[in-house]
Amino acid sequence: MWIERKVLAQEIPAAAALDTRQLCEALAALGFPVDGVAALEGTEALDVDITANRGDAMSHRGMARELAAKLQQPLAQIAAGDMVEGAPLVAVRLEAEACPIYATAVLELGEGVTPEAAQSFLRALEASPKRLPAVDASNELLLRYGHPTHAFDADAIRGEVSVRWARAGESLVTLDGVTRTLTAQDLLIADEAGPIALAGVMGGDGTKVTEATRRVLLESAWFEPKVVRATARRHSLHTDASHRFGRGADPAMAKVARDLLVARLQSWCQARLLGAWTAGAVPAPAAPVELDLALLARVAGEAVSLEAAQEALTRLGCGVAAGGQRLRVTPPTWRHDLAIAEDLAEEVLRLRGYEHIPSVLPPMEGPPEHLAPGYLQRQRVARRLAQLGFHQTVTYGFISPEADALFAGPDNPVAGRTLANPLGYEYSVLRASLLPSLKATAEQNLRQGSRQIRLFEVAPVYRSAATGPREQVALAAVWGGTLGGEDYLSPARPVQEADLAGLARDLELPGLPPIHRLAEGLFGFEVDLAALPQALDRIIPGFRPFSRFPSVERDLSLLVDLGQSYAALHQAMAAALPGDSLLELRCVDVFRHKSLPEGQQAWLLRMRFQADRTLVGEEVDGWVASALAAAESLGAKLRA
């Protein structure tokens, strides 16, 4: 909210002595940080941030009250005359508890416009003056004292006025020209012809004050915050009035604001008061709240004396009775946020200043807990992938139905994962897989000229279930583009599916996940992270003895059918070799060429042997011959 400095100083004269920086610091220390300062209309206005619990602070008077308590300086008196009330000129019936008090007056307007000073004040606060005194005075009062009022064209009102709940089917054209269909939860001001205002939110168009208005009926009431909030939300109609009533206005201000409004109209346009009266009364204050000194000391971090606490709360307008080690506190009528002892403790601390809170590390009361294995595993996998040259991505959890369909299984219907109110169609589905997002990210990087794409993401994916989407953390990696060729030693080649298989093996995935071809030269896989091995129980594995004798390496070049299963061949050959001496058996090269017999390929199998003695050639030759025989039994032939 904009707070104009000169008007603030009229409410608390001591503020005039503060420079802008001091004023901003004082407000921030009270919980009202200043977001900006604007020079407007030859004065300075502060953009003060007011939290949702402090409806009472949403005015110059409210800010001044806070500063007065903090600075221990007096507030200016409110210049309200003692208005003599009389018999109602129009009957006002309060039919709902949500409106306990309704102060009003009827005036006959005279000649005159809104004074320039008031217009300038409104402009400085970005509220445009209407040059209709009744309207401008109401707005000026609201910004200055925080109490919303309203002026009706008295001659447009038919018969008696009532504050009541709307009836189903009723409607009202509000001041903004919109026809509002009302519900039984909307509180209304109505005359005998129907609704004339949405209580605490906005007046009706049919009774608004215009240049032709001769007589006005003023409203200065108090409405239940919950009711006003609900109506404002239901009609998407958030006004200065609904903000203040919705956060809790001061019921004791109803009559005062009416008096101030009457006085302004009398002064601004020679209005003649025809009568003033009030229906209902200020509701009884809420029960006092007890503040125990032990609780205050616990919250504050140090003992605070009864007197100090009492003094601080009194400065804020509370009624305070001390007894033993506790205070009985009756909050002022404008504070609706002081409901429990902690609220009061905060007030005491706030006035003392949070800078006085001591700084203490909390003592340990029990042993610290370990990090969860699942969490550690995610950290480990992410670090490993980063070390391998992969970049971790963070992409949105919701994607378009088309993108989702690329990798969603048939048992994972999209309906169970669709948002009711997405930001847009392209963000409407909780994704079944990370791959569509990674594919899009990879393609975007390729368009940006990346030679090689190495991306991964660890994030939840969603599976439709009867009780709602189930989450499981997935790991997906994509790899594409050109490998190597960036220096004089590394030849360039395209990334292939086999590279992803190698990556999967490096991550110790149990078995090879499906490798998806996402685009030309771009591949990816995705696994449920729970499938990855958890961190080992042992810090380091148990020792396994190894030989210090030299190892022997032999290659076998085999011609095999193109359809030959490598796993089967590997298994057969390994079975024929002495397990205790075989260090390694693996295919290190594959040759496919027209020069080979039709339908065949050549595999180069490398065997490494080691034992607790020096191996002799003949012995190894024998093993290799056995392995060859095993291979031949599967149809392989030794290649010349």
* 284-303: contacts with another protein (CB under 8 A): 297-302
Q: Where are the beta strands (DSSP E) in 183-237?
A: 187-191, 194-198, 202-203, 215-222
Closer CB to another protein, residue 79 or residue 372?
Answer: 372
Using CA atoms, how far residue 375 sits from 22, 372, 570, in Å, is 47, 5, 37
Say how far apart CA 260 and CA 268 lie, in whole Å.
Answer: 12
- Contact between 531 and another protein by CB under 8 A: the answer reads no
- Binding region for another protein (CB under 8 A) out of 155-163, 311-319, 593-601, 609-617: 593-601
317 binds another protein (CB under 8 A): no
Which residue in 131, 214, 272, 383 binds another protein (CB under 8 A)? Answer: 383
In this chain, which of 130, 469, 571, 611 binds another protein, going by CB under 8 A? Answer: 469
Give me the least distance between CB of 15 and another protein, in Å please.
Answer: 19
Separation CA 187–CA 232 (nearest Å): 11
Q: Is 363 in the site for another protein (CB under 8 A)?
A: yes
Backbone angles phi, psi at 600, to 5 degrees: -125, 160
d(CA 397, CA 418): 12
| Residue type for position 13 | P
User: Which residue number, 118 or 291, has a Cβ lying nearer to another protein?
Assistant: 291
Nearer to another protein, 421 or 614 (CB): 421
Is 51 near another protein (CB under 8 A)? yes
- Of 72-80, 116-124, 305-313, 457-465, the segment contacting another protein by CB under 8 A is 457-465
Provide, rounded to whole angstroms, the least separation between the CB of residue 169 and another protein.
Answer: 24
Answer yes or no whether residue 325 interacts with another protein by CB under 8 A.
no
Between the alpha carbon of residue 187 and those of residues 18, 139, 164, 183, the distances in Å are 44, 22, 6, 9
**Residue selected from 179, 370, 411, 545 as contacting another protein according to rule CB under 8 A:** 370
| CB closer to another protein, 271 vs 453 | 453
Which residues are within 8 A (CB) of 290 and not within 5 positions of it... i.e. 6 or more apart? 326, 327, 328, 329, 341
Q: Give the nearest distance from C-beta 265 to another protein in angstroms.
A: 35
- Please give the Cα distance from 522 to 387 (Å, whole number): 20
Place of tokens 């409407």: 428
What track of x and - describes contact with another protein for positions 256 through 285 (by CB under 8 A)? ------------------------------
- Distance (Å) of CA 91 to CA 87, 105, 197, 256: 9, 12, 16, 21
Is there binding between residue 38 and another protein (CB under 8 A)?
Answer: no
Tell which positions 391-420 bind another protein, by CB under 8 A: 391-398, 415-420
The C-alpha atoms of residue 513 and residue 510 are separated, in whole angstroms, by 8
Q: From the CB of 551, what's the least distance to another protein, in Å?
A: 22
How many chain residues are in contact with another protein, going by CB under 8 A?
A: 101
Pick out residues in 572-591 that bind another protein (CB under 8 A).
591
422 binds another protein (CB under 8 A): yes
Distance of alpha carbon 367 from alpha carbon 202, whole angstroms: 58
Applying CB under 8 A, does 566 fall inside the site for another protein?
A: no
Residue 72 binds to another protein (criterion: CB under 8 A): no
Provide the minimum distance between the beta carbon of 363 and another protein in the complex, in angstroms, as a whole number: 7
d(CA 74, CA 77): 9
- Give the integer Cα–Cα distance in Å for 259 and 84: 10
Query: Least Å distance between CB 31 and another protein?
Result: 3
With binding defined as CB under 8 A, does residue 372 bind another protein? yes
Q: Which stretch binds another protein (CB under 8 A): 137-145, 194-202, 379-387, 613-621?
A: 379-387
User: Does 553 participate in binding another protein (rule CB under 8 A)?
Assistant: no
Q: Is 20 in the site for another protein (CB under 8 A)?
A: no
Which listed residue (13, 401, 460, 521) binds another protein by CB under 8 A? 460
Residues 436/341, Cβ–Cβ less than 8 Å? no
Rg (CA), the chain: 40
Tell me: does residue 160 bind another protein (CB under 8 A).
no
- Residue 354 or 566 with smaller CB distance to another protein: 354
Q: Establish if 620 lies at the interface with another protein (CB under 8 A).
A: no
**How far apart (Å, rounded) are the C-alpha atoms in residues 520 and 501?**
17
Binding string, residues 475-514; x marks residues near another protein by CB under 8 A? -----------xxxxxx-----------------------
Q: From its phi and psi, is residue 415 left (phi > 0), alpha (psi between -120 and 50) or beta?
A: alpha
Given the complex with another protein, which of 167 and 380 has the nearer CB atom?
Answer: 380
**DSSP state, 481?**
E
Q: Which two tokens stand for residue 526?
A: 């995705």
Query: Cα separation of 32 and 50, whole Å?
Result: 6
19 binds another protein (CB under 8 A): no
Name the minimum Å distance from CB 162 to another protein. 25
Residue 459 is a binding residue for another protein (CB under 8 A): yes
* Residue 130 within binding range of another protein, rule CB under 8 A: no
**Nearest in space to 180 (alpha carbons), one of 160, 197, 164:** 197
Give the one residue of 368, 410, 511, 545 binding another protein; rule: CB under 8 A.
368
- Whole-angstrom CA distances from 129 to 119, 120, 122, 552 are 6, 8, 6, 97
**CA gap 604, 573 in Å, rounded:** 13
Which one, 93 or 356, has the nearer CB to another protein?
A: 356
**Contacts to another protein from residues 423-452, by CB under 8 A:** 423, 427, 430, 441, 444-445, 448, 450
Under the binding rule (CB under 8 A), the answer on residue 534 touching another protein is no
Question: Which one, of 30, 31, 43, 53, lies nearest residue 2 by Cα?
Answer: 43
- Angstrom distance (rounded) from CA 145 to CA 137: 12
For residue 109, the tally of other CB atoms under 10 A from its CB is 21
Token readout for 574 is: 């390994």
Query: Binding another protein by CB under 8 A: which of 39, 52, 84, 212?
Result: 52
Residue 90 C-alpha from the chain's centroid: 49
Instruction: Name which of residues 223 to 252 contact another protein (CB under 8 A).
Output: 226, 229-230, 233
Indicate whether 385 belongs to the interface with another protein (CB under 8 A): yes
